[in-house]
Every structure is written in C-alpha cells, then in structure tokens.
Copies of this chain bind each other. A is one copy, B any other.
Amino acid sequence: MRIALLGGTGDIGQGLALRWAYDTNHEVLIGSRDPERARTAAEEYETELDSRGVEASIKGFANEMAADRADVVVLAVPPYHAGDTVDAVADKLDAETVLVSPAVGMKGDEDGLHYHPPSAGSVTALVAGRAPDGVSVVGAFHNLAADKLANLDAELDLDTLLVGDDEDAKETVGQLAEGIEGLRALDAGPVANAAEVESITPLAINIARYNDGMHDVGVRFH
C-alpha cells in the first residue's frame, strides 16, 4: 500500500514514516507544503533506516503530489491546518482514498493542556466535513508517544484508537496500524465518538508533566 504523510516532516509524521518503512513493505511518501523540506526529511529518514540495515525508498513531494499518488493519506499537520490541507489536496483524492486524521486541538495554560476541539466537535469531524464526497475519513494515531514512535529502539506496547463511519476504511487503517510492531488498533466507533479519543492526547501530556519518571506517555486499554 502507498501511504502519504502530509506534514510528514513533523514528529508524528517522522515516527509513522520510520515505523512503516522499518516494520512493513508499505511505500511511504512524505508530503509538505514545501517540497524541498519534504525531500530533505525523506532523505533523513532513509539515512536513519540505512544505518539500521533497512534499504527503504522514501520520497518527498509537495502535499498535492504525495496525496495524488497514495492509497492512504495521513493529515499529520497541526490541527489548525487540517481543514486547509484537505482543501489543498481535495481534487487529488478519489473514492478509493482513505483520509486519516491524527491531529488534536489543544490549548495550554499554567495548569496543563486542555482539549480544545474545533466547532465541528473534533478534528476528525472537521476533516470528515471538509473531505470530498465519497472519501472515507478515519481518525487514528492521536495518542502515540511521538518520541518513542520515532525511536526505532523503543518498544511501543501501545494502543491506537480508530474512529470512522466506513468500516472498510477503518479496517484498512487498523491493518496499517497493526503492521507497526507493538501497536494495537482498537475500534472506538464512528466519527461521532472522536472527541473522547482525541482528548487523551492532552491528558497523556499532563500525566508526563505531573509524574516523575514518565515521559512521552501512551496508553493501553484492557
């Protein structure tokens, strides 16, 4: 499968790119608004993988080009760019494309981070509302510990929660997730249930802040 990571130069994009290239045979494309930045990041990821004996071909493109070539498009961009990024690539998406939303709206104050969704109720719902008709949207990869994800020496043992209204698309993303070693995909229901999934991200950051010895916190349900 061909996966485009739009905003793939950021921390969650880096982690997913490295893990998919290291653990699976999926083809990874890095997208950025600036194609030169995308190419630079792609080369860095290739170098990192090469140092571990993995010969991966990761290519960098402008977001539109990356989206055009991919089966699955991950919006690994800040939450306030999620809608604009969907608009920018909309005419490159078709009914077979699965759009994945991992972004979380948060605001911080002296107490910690707080969940701060857009008026659509969640970033996933915002993306689902902006996506072209027929394009399936799945919320996933919100609650991953980004530094652990990007460190191929770190064992994950984490859950990622999926929300989506299209069961086939959710199944596709679940399989992509579970291709990463130590990552388990759990179904949290339709897009309407996304807010509770997204709001784990500020909580995990607060837990890392308030508990000695906890860094880069992820979650497991059982």
| Residue A56 at the chain B interface, CB threshold 8 Å | no
Contact of A207 among B202, B218, B221 (CB under 8 A): B221
**Interface residue tally for chain A (C-beta within 8 Å):** 34
B210 and A218 within 8 A (CB): no
Given the complex, which residues of B lie within 8 Å of A217, measured CB to CB?
221-222
Report Cα–Cα, A112/B188, bound state, in Å: 9
Given the complex, which residues of B lie within 8 Å of A211, measured CB to CB?
186-187
Q: Which of the segments A24-32, A126-134, A190-198 contacts the partner chain?
A: A190-198
Report Cα–Cα, A197/B196, bound state, in Å: 10
B157 and A193 within 8 A (CB): no
Please give me the residue from chain B that is nearest to A109 by CB atom.
Answer: B192
| Residue A37 at the chain B interface, CB threshold 8 Å | no
Number of identical monomers bound together in the oligomeric complex:
2
Question: Which residue numbers of A lie inside 8 Å of B, CB to CB?
Answer: 109, 111-112, 114-115, 157, 161, 186-190, 192-193, 195-197, 199-200, 202-204, 206-207, 209-211, 214, 217-222
B112 and A193 within 8 A (CB): yes
**Assuming A218-B221, A219-B221, is B111 touching A192 (CB within 8 A)?**
yes
B111 and A190 within 8 A (CB): yes
A111 and B193 within 8 A (CB): yes
Report Cα–Cα, A185/B192, bound state, in Å: 30
A189 and B222 within 8 A (CB): no
Given the complex, which residues of B lie within 8 Å of A199, measured CB to CB?
115, 195-196, 199
Q: Which of A203, A218, A219 has the most CB of B within 10 A?
A: A203
Report Cα–Cα, A187/B203, bound state, in Å: 10
Please give me the residue from chain B that is nearest to A217 by CB atom.
Answer: B221
**Assuming A115-B195, A221-B218, A221-B219, is B210 touching A187 (CB within 8 A)?**
yes
Given the complex, which residues of B lie within 8 Å of A193, measured CB to CB?
111-112, 114, 203, 206
**Assuming A193-B206, A199-B199, is B188 touching A222 (CB within 8 A)?**
no
Distance to closest chain B CB from A124 (angstroms): 13
B189 and A206 within 8 A (CB): yes
| Extra A-B contacts (6), CB below 8 Å, given A114-B193, A187-B207, A193-B206 | A112-B188, A161-B203, A186-B210, A200-B203, A204-B221, A207-B221
